[in-house]
């Protein structure tokens, strides 16, 4: 009896009224806009308090189209989850609005046992933790929501797909490439030695330090503001001397 | 016995079925009721109306404007006026100014001007009135060999001005300090019997030292903007800086000259004083030595932010074709804008051809959690 009840329960949830794609999309849009208003209000208050200084920062801006080009270039990517389903991330659409860097992925789920059956999945995530490591800017995508938009299988199988995806969201996230901004930030400016006739300049280098100060997603553009400092200048001999001092 | 046994089992089976059927019926009713309730309790909420979404979008726009105004009020002049481009780099004036200032002054601070083996030569004759007419009593040759004169440049505070065509730089440069070593050779060749009896011939060589005279100069030019598609380079356009290096003989040097004269007999001293070696020497060195600091000393400065030409992502290399669309100097930022075109290539060439469009980059297997 207990086994019978267990068998009936998923069927029961699968029998629920399934929401239309348009309705789900409108609700997602509302949720995105509502969260955006909260984010923007917080940002506006921060800016009005004078805590959002931008003028001294290097501003790096990427629009949605360019981000889409970069993100989609490494797709599709595939992952076999739990040895049963194959998930293929096919495309991604970035949204940089309302101070939210959101990414919506279109993917297709197929069964390893029945490869002709599929379910189309929409995964939504946010760009998190944009960091500057060795002169390269990169952000991690964190999945937050997903839903089945269409399927070749019935509601029961769709329910099973949803449950499988929900349980493996972390693994699916690993297949999503990190978002890299194709910008290079050097860590020094070097000037070579100059010698001509009676004139000699030994050259040197100007070290640079940079770190991410703020990330803004406004009006279809992602802005990464970098706080950068230059100097002090190191003349070539002095630089050489300091290297010699630390050498064993 | 056997037939009775079979009939008994049949009767017991029918009895069990009679007992289970009502339970199954109750279960079916409960399941049906449960499903009915689940279906109605989990009915999707109604979607937002288009008006509701429009109102939220309007609120977004208002907040964006509020943020923009606050950012402008905080001193930002043109984040909102960035040129249209897929990828933008806005380098603040203060940062560029700091780089240019430190690179140029750092370079000049260590610059030395060294003259070696410069020869200065002066000859002349001395005439004195003898009875009725002036007569040449001798000829002198003054040779100065500057072994080395070294001066060090010291830059002042540069004046940097942002212009449409680039960054104008005016740099005061002082030839601040330096020293020199020289050999002074003085030859005196007496002419005529009387002169030879009074003075004879002299040939003296002395090593002397001097100091470089500090002077102020001014370098001025412009760093024009250029790009190779991946970085902004400030290309210098400066003229040659002409520096004149003056060597001021030390007291020891003047003492040497004085000694050459003072060691002679009185009549000879009188003749040599007419030569006035110190004046000639001062005149020779007072002209200074011209040094041209080549314009090449101003090196192009590659700003430290640029667009990458490739990215490595999940086993795929993206070659990025960068097309520059804007390079402008605005109020407080240097803007560089570009559009990108990405081409996919395999990261490891030995792994064969990379995934084509529509082909997965790779499939990985993840074990069941």
Of A62, A192, A200, the CB nearest to B114: A200
**Domain residues of chain A, as ranges?**
19-184, 188-246
Residues near B57 by beta carbon (within 8 Å), at least 6 away in sequence: A33
**Residue B356, C-beta contacts closer than 8 angstroms, at least 6 positions apart:** none
User: What are the CB-based long-range contacts (under 8 Å, 24+) for A101-109?
Assistant: A101/A126, A101/A127, A101/A139, A101/A215, A101/A217, A101/A222, A102/A32, A102/A126, A102/A127, A103/A71, A103/A127, A103/A141, A103/A179, A105/A176, A109/A85, A109/A161, A109/A165
**Whole-Å CA distances, A173 to A133, A166, B210:** 21, 11, 75
Task: Answer whether A6 touches B (CB < 8 Å).
Answer: no
What's the token pair of residue A179?
Answer: 């978002």
Whole-number pLDDT of residue A65: 94
Q: Treating both helix axes as pointing N-terminal to C-terminal, what angle do B251-262 and B277-286 enclose, rounded to 10 degrees?
A: 150
Neighbour-count burial of A75, counting CB atoms closer than 10 A to its CB (0-12 exposed, 13-18 middle, 19+ buried): buried
pLDDT band at B362 (very low <50, low <70, confident <90, very high): very low
- pLDDT at position A84: 77
**Same structural domain, B209 and B128:** yes
Q: Are residues B31 and B73 in the same domain?
A: no
pLDDT confidence band for A241 (50 / 70 / 90): very low
Rounded mean pLDDT, A4-20? 55
Rounded to the nearest angstrom, the gap between the alpha carbon of residue B114 and the centroid of all alpha carbons in its chain is 26
Q: Is A213 on the interface with B (CB under 8 A)?
A: no
pLDDT at B285: 84
Residues of A in contact with B28 (CB under 8 A): none
User: What mean pLDDT is predicted for residues A61-79?
Assistant: 89
Is the CB of B86 less than 8 angstroms away from the CB of A69?
Answer: yes
Please identify among residues 28-87 of chain A the ones whose CB lies closer than 8 Å to any CB of chain B. 29-30, 33-34, 36-37, 40-41, 43-44, 47-48, 50, 52-63, 65-66, 69-70, 73-84, 86
CB proximity under 8 Å: B 19-78 to A: 27, 31, 34-35, 38-39, 42-48, 52-53, 56-57, 59-60, 63-64, 66-67, 70-71, 74-77
From chain B, pick out residues whose CB is under 8 angstroms from the CB of A47: 66-67, 70-71, 74
Q: Which residues fall within 8 angstroms of residue B281, CB to CB, at 6 or more apart? A: B142, B144, B184, B249, B257
Residues B132 and B276 grouped into a single domain: yes
Question: What average pLDDT does this structure show over B158-165?
Answer: 88
Is the Cβ–Cβ distance between A218 and A39 less than 8 Å?
no
Residue B64: its pLDDT value, please?
A: 82
What are the residues facing A104 on neighbouring strands? A93, A124
User: Does the beta-carbon distance from A233 to B52 stay under 8 Å?
Assistant: no
Check CB contact under 8 Å for B113 and A199.
yes
Taking contacts as CB-CB distances below 8 angstroms, the residues of chain B near A204 are 106-107, 110
Mean pLDDT of chain B: 83
Indicate yes or no: CB of A30 within 8 angstroms of CB of B368: no
Judge whether A154 is closer than 8 Å to chain B, CB to CB. no
Most confident of A19-28, A137-146, B28-37, B210-219: B210-219
- pLDDT tens, B296-347? 899 999 999 889 888 887 778 889 999 999 998 887 888 899 999 888 876 6
**Cβ-defined contact of A56 to B361 (cutoff 8 Å):** no
Query: Which residues of chain A lie closer than 8 angstroms to B109, CB-CB?
Result: 233, 235
Q: What are the tokens at A94?
A: 């970035």
- On whether the pTM is more than 0.90, the answer is no
Work out the burial of residue A127: count CB atoms within 10 Å of its CB; fewer than 13 is exposed, 13-18 middle, 19 or more buried: buried
Test A47 with B71 for CB contact under 8 angstroms. yes
Q: Return the closest-CA partner of residue B34 out of A4, A18, A161, A15.
A: A15
Q: Quick check: B220 pLDDT over 60?
A: yes
pLDDT (0 to 100) of residue B96:
92
The pLDDT score that the predictor gives to residue B6 is: 64
Q: Which pLDDT belongs to residue A225?
A: 92
Closest CA to B311 of A89, A139, A179: A179
Check: CB of residue B152 under 8 Å from CB of residue B144.
Answer: no
Distance (Å, whole) CA B140 – CA B117: 22
Q: Is B269 a member of any domain?
A: yes
pLDDT at A11: 53
- Domain shared by B154 and B272, yes or no: yes
Which of B27, B309, B318, B334 minimizes the C-alpha distance to A75?
B318
Residue B368, in any domain of the structure: no
Return the minimum-mean-pLDDT range out of A47-56, A195-204, B93-102: A47-56
Q: Token pair of A92, please?
A: 């991604």
What are A157-182's pLDDT values in tens digits?
777 778 878 888 888 887 787 888 99
Chain B 294-333, CB below 8 Å of chain A: which residues?
294, 296-297, 299, 301-311, 313-314, 316, 318, 320, 332-333
Q: Are B113 and A198 an interchain contact pair (Cβ–Cβ within 8 Å)?
A: yes
Q: Is the CA virtual torsion B279, B292, B103, B150 positive or negative?
A: negative
Q: Does B209 touch chain A (CB under 8 A)?
A: no
Are B110 and A52 inside 8 Å of each other by CB?
no
Q: In whole angstroms, how far apart are CA B339 and each of A84, A123, B107, B241, B330?
A: 41, 28, 35, 40, 20
Nearest by Cα to B62 from A33, A224, A62: A33
Residue B180 tokens read as 């020199």
Specify whether B59 is located in the same domain as B179. no
- Per the structure, how many domains does chain B have? 3
Residues B59 and B32 in one domain: no
Q: Answer yes or no: do B178 and B281 share one domain.
A: yes
CA gap B155, B179 in Å, rounded: 19
Q: Which helix (H) or strand (E) holds A220?
A: none
Residues B205, B241, single domain; the answer is yes
Whether B344 and A73 lie within 8 Å, measured CB to CB? yes
Whether pLDDT at B368 is above 60: no
Q: Are B11 and B59 members of one domain? A: no
Determine whether the interchain pair A183/B35 forms a contact, defined as Cβ–Cβ distance below 8 Å.
no
pLDDT score at B253: 85
Residue spans of alpha helices (H) in chain A = 2-14, 21-48, 64-73, 155-167, 169-175, 236-246
- Provide the 10 A C-beta neighbour count for residue B278: 15
- Provide the 10 A C-beta neighbour count for residue A211: 11
Range of the domain at B186: 113-300
A 157-176 residues inside an 8 A Cβ radius of B: 167-168, 171, 174-175
Q: Residue B42 above 80 pLDDT?
A: no
């Amino acid at each position: 009896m207990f086994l019978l009840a267990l068998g009936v329960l998923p069927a029961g949830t699968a029998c629920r009224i399934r929401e239309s794609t348009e309705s789900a999309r409108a609700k997602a849009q509302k949720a995105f806009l509502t969260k955006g208003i909260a984010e923007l209000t917080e940002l506006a208050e921060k800016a009005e308090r004078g805590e959002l200084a931008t003028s001294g920062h290097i501003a790096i801006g990427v629009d949605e189209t360019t981000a889409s080009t970069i993100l989609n270039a490494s797709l599709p990517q595939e992952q076999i989850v739990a040895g049963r389903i194959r998930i293929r991330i096919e495309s991604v659409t970035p949204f940089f609005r309302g101070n939210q860097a959101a990414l919506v992925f279109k993917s297709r789920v197929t069964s390893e046992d029945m490869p002709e059956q599929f379910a189309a999945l929409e995964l939504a995530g946010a760009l998190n933790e944009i960091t500057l490591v060795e002169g390269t800017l990169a952000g991690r995508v964190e999945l937050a929501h997903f839903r089945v938009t269409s399927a070749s299988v019935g509601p029961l199988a769709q329910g099973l797909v949803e449950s499988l995806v929900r349980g493996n969201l972390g693994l699916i996230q690993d297949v999503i490439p990190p978002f890299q901004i194709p910008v290079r930030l050097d860590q020094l400016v070097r000037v070579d030695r100059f010698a001509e006739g009676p004139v000699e300049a030994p050259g040197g280098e100007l070290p640079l330090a940079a770190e991410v100060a703020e990330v803004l997603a406004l009006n279809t553009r992602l802005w990464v503001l970098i706080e950068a400092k230059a100097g002090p200048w190191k003349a070539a001999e002095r630089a050489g001397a300091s290297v010699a001092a630390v050498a064993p | 016995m056997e037939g009775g046994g079979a009939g008994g089992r049949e009767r017991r089976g029918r009895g069990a079925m009679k007992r289970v059927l009502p339970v199954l019926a109750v279960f079916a009713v409960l399941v049906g009721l449960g499903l009915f309730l689940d279906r109605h309790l989990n009915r999707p909420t109604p979607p937002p109306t288009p008006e509701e979404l429009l109102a939220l979008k309007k609120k977004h726009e208002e907040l964006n404007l509020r943020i923009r105004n606050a950012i402008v009020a905080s001193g930002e002049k043109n984040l909102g006026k960035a040129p249209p481009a897929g990828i933008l780099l806005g380098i603040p004036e203060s940062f560029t100014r700091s780089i240019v200032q430190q690179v140029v002054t750092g370079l000049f601070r260590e610059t030395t001007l060294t003259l070696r083996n410069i020869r200065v030569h002066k000859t002349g004759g001395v005439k004195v009135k003898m009875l009725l007419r002036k007569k040449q009593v001798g000829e002198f040759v003054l040779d100065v060999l500057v072994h080395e004169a070294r001066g060090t440049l010291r830059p002042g505070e540069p004046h940097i001005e942002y212009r449409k065509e680039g960054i104008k730089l005016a740099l005061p440069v002082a030839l601040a300090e330096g020293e020199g070593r020289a050999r002074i050779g003085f030859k005196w060749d007496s002419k005529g019997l009387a002169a030879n009896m009074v003075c004879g011939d002299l040939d003296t060589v002395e090593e002397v030292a001097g100091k470089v005279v500090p002077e102020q100069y001014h370098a001025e030019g412009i760093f024009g903007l250029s790009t190779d598609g991946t970085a902004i380079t400030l290309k210098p356009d400066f003229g040659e800086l002409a520096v004149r290096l003056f060597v001021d003989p030390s007291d020891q040097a003047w003492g040497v000259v004085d000694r050459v004269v003072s060691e002679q007999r009185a009549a000879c001293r009188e003749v040599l004083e007419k030569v006035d070696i110190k004046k000639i020497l001062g005149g020779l060195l007072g002209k200074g030595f011209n040094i041209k600091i080549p314009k090449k000393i101003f090196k192009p400065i590659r700003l430290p932010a640029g667009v990458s030409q490739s990215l490595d992502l999940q086993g795929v290399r993206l070659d990025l074709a960068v097309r520059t669309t804007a390079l402008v100097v605005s109020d407080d930022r240097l803007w560089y804008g570009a559009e990108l075109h990405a081409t996919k290539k395999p990261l490891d060439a030995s792994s064969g051809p990379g995934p084509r469009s529509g082909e997965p980059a790779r499939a990985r297997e993840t074990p069941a959690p």
